[in-house]
Amino acid sequence: MNLSIKIFISLILSVIVGLIVGESALPFINWWIAPIGTIFINLIKMMIVPVVFCSLVVGMTSLGDTKKLGRIGLKTIGLYLVTTAIAIVIGFGIAGLVHPGVGLQMTSDAVVKVKEAPSIMQVFVAMIPANPVASMAKADILPVIVFSLFVGVGILKVGGERAEFLVKFFDACAEVSYKIIGIVMQFAPYGVFALLLPVVAKNGPAVLLPLISVIACVAVGCIIHAVCVYSSLAQIWGNHTPLQFFRGMSEAMLIAFTTCSSAAALPVNMKNCQEKLGVSRDVSSFVLPLGATINMDGTALYMGVCSLFVANVFGIDLTMGQMAMIVLTGTLASIGTAGVPGAGLIMLAMVLQSVNLPMEGLALVAGIDRVLDMFRTCLNITGDGAVAIVMDQEEKKHAAKVARNG
Ligand code: ASP
């Protein structure tokens, strides 16, 4: 049976069993079952640093060489980052309106301290690791991300055979990390059951509504982002009406929705962008694979919604500083998210960790993650298409200018 179905079944089972046994069984559950959930959370935590480090290094090196980071590369990356940050803000906005998770009070063993918001300069200083190994040991995510980006750029600068060796090495390490996560995820149905059972036994039916509201927030957020941001870009730059744009994108969107993988949708996205939306082969073959690797607006939006959800569930008021931190780490985390099903969940663990939100919240999200993945992957690849249209027009303008100036 498919893993996501198993996880979903364990979510349903935990609700049914929790409702039947109720609060009276809590001592037994806390003694015998809850630790299994803690083991699952620890296994996920174990993989955060390796997967972030390796996949970000690979993400940077996938740019090919630093020259490619020139005109088209920088603009593309800039546009990807801006739309990603907007996506998280939309996620925050919707979750701020709907308040998913409010009323479902969970407590965490991890002491949740709401830190005072650091100043923006403090955030920047803290981003630069004086000792990357110490940052890794403490799972201080932001400095680890910055270090990974530097390693990636360093490898690109070295170039040649030695760099190729390192690219292959880190690619293999990333692959190994994902394999381990795959093994850990096999354990997810039990972990999710063990984590949710105490919550349902304690809270009763009140746990169901928040989960439905998380799905609604992510789905509506994705639709708003696609319609307002992407179809405006396609209209302003490419002169495509929203209908033309979405019709052109529809096949790739459908594949993304059903496979939950940007990588799987890439070939169809390339074909359709060229044939249906008039993007040149040059631009699409650079912008789309890069986008499938680093541009994950749906994943970012999901991180915004889910981190507010987890904060609500644990009764934590996020400060502005923490929200800014989520936008920053969420944007960077989405770069490091692989275009495969479920990758965003692991990166969510990292975002939660960066602002000290309890990791137990992950279990609630994990139960419905497949459904959320469908929406976010669909948005991820739609964003790649929109940016490809913008870059294509920019390149055409540039070529026309060059021709005019002789
Ligand atoms: N499944 C997503 C993608 O392939 C990544 C994620 O899990 O957020 O785009």
Residues of the chain falling short of pLDDT 50: 110-117
Helix (H, G, I), strand (E, B) or coil at 15: helix
Instruction: Say how far residue 182 (Cα) sits from the centre of its chain.
Output: 17
DSSP states along 311-336: HHHTT-PPPHHHHHHHHHHHHHHHHH
Query: In angstroms, rounded to a whole number, what is the distance separating the alpha carbons of residues 374 and 341?
Result: 9
* Å from CA of 349 to ligand 1 middle: 14
| Residue owning the nearest CA to atom 6 of ligand 1 | 344
* Nearest atom (ligand 1) to Cα of 260: 1
Distances 164 to 97, 167, 170 between C-alpha atoms, Å:
48, 5, 10
Q: What pLDDT does 259 receive?
A: 80
* Å from CA of 381 to ligand 1 middle: 10
Q: What pLDDT does 230 receive?
A: 94
Asked if residue 210 lies in contact with residue 101, where contact means CB atoms within 8 angstroms, the answer is: yes
- Quick check: CB of 210 below 6 Å from ligand 1? no
* Å from CA of 225 to ligand 1 middle: 16
Identify the burial level of 119 via C-beta atoms within 10 angstroms of its C-beta, where 0-12 means exposed, 13-18 middle and 19 or more buried.
Answer: exposed
Query: In angstroms, rounded to a whole number, what is the distance separating the alpha carbons of residues 125 and 118?
Result: 11
Helix (H, G, I), strand (E, B) or coil at 161: helix
Query: In angstroms, rounded to a whole number, what is the distance separating the alpha carbons of residues 382 and 297?
Result: 9
Query: In angstroms, rounded to a whole number, what is the distance separating the alpha carbons of residues 47 and 335?
Result: 17
Instruction: Tell me the residue type at 148.
Output: S
**What residues contact 337, with CB distance under 8 A and at least 6 apart?**
55, 296, 299, 343, 344, 347
- Quick check: CB of 341 below 6 Å from ligand 1? yes
Pocket probe mutation, ligand 1, options 260, 290, 306, max atoms within 8 Å of Cβ: 260
- Provide the token pair at 113: 């301290």
* Nearest atom (ligand 1) to Cα of 340: 4
Q: What pLDDT does 245 receive?
A: 94
* Å from CA of 299 to ligand 1 middle: 6
| Residue owning the nearest CA to atom 8 of ligand 1 | 344
- Quick check: CB of 334 below 6 Å from ligand 1? no
**Looking up tokens 């083991």, which residue turns up?**
39
Q: What pLDDT does 12 receive?
A: 86
- Quick check: CB of 382 below 6 Å from ligand 1? no
51 phi and psi angles, rounded to 5 deg? -75, -35
* Nearest atom (ligand 1) to Cα of 265: 4
- Quick check: CB of 379 below 6 Å from ligand 1? no
| Residue owning the nearest CA to atom 1 of ligand 1 | 341
Instruction: Tell me the residue type at 35.
Output: P
Asked if residue 269 lies in contact with residue 377, where contact means CB atoms within 8 angstroms, the answer is: no
pLDDT tens by residue, 86-137: 999 999 999 999 888 776 666 555 444 444 445 556 667 877 999 999 988 9
- Quick check: CB of 376 below 6 Å from ligand 1? yes
Q: What pLDDT does 117 receive?
A: 45
Query: In 3D, which of 389, 307, 402 has the Cα closest to residue 351?
Result: 307
Pocket probe mutation, ligand 1, options 181, 262, 334, max atoms within 8 Å of Cβ: 262
* Nearest atom (ligand 1) to Cα of 334: 8
Asked if residue 100 lies in contact with residue 305, where contact means CB atoms within 8 angstroms, the answer is: yes
Pocket probe mutation, ligand 1, options 178, 337, 382, max atoms within 8 Å of Cβ: 337
* Å from CA of 370 to ligand 1 middle: 10
- Quick check: CB of 84 below 6 Å from ligand 1? no
Query: In angstroms, rounded to a whole number, what is the distance separating the alpha carbons of residues 329 and 154?
Result: 22
Asked if residue 79 lies in contact with residue 387, where contact means CB atoms within 8 angstroms, the answer is: yes
CA dihedral (125, 126, 128, 134) in degrees, to 10, reads 150
Q: What pLDDT does 241 receive?
A: 92
**What residues contact 372, with CB distance under 8 A and at least 6 apart?**
214, 215, 218, 302, 306, 344, 365
Give me the helix-helix angle, 141-158 and 343-354, nearest 10°.
120
Identify the burial level of 70 via C-beta atoms within 10 angstroms of its C-beta, where 0-12 means exposed, 13-18 middle and 19 or more buried.
Answer: exposed
Distances 324 to 307, 335, 351, 357 between C-alpha atoms, Å:
12, 17, 12, 14
Query: In angstroms, rounded to a whole number, what is the distance separating the alpha carbons of residues 43 and 286?
Result: 36
* Nearest atom (ligand 1) to Cα of 296: 9
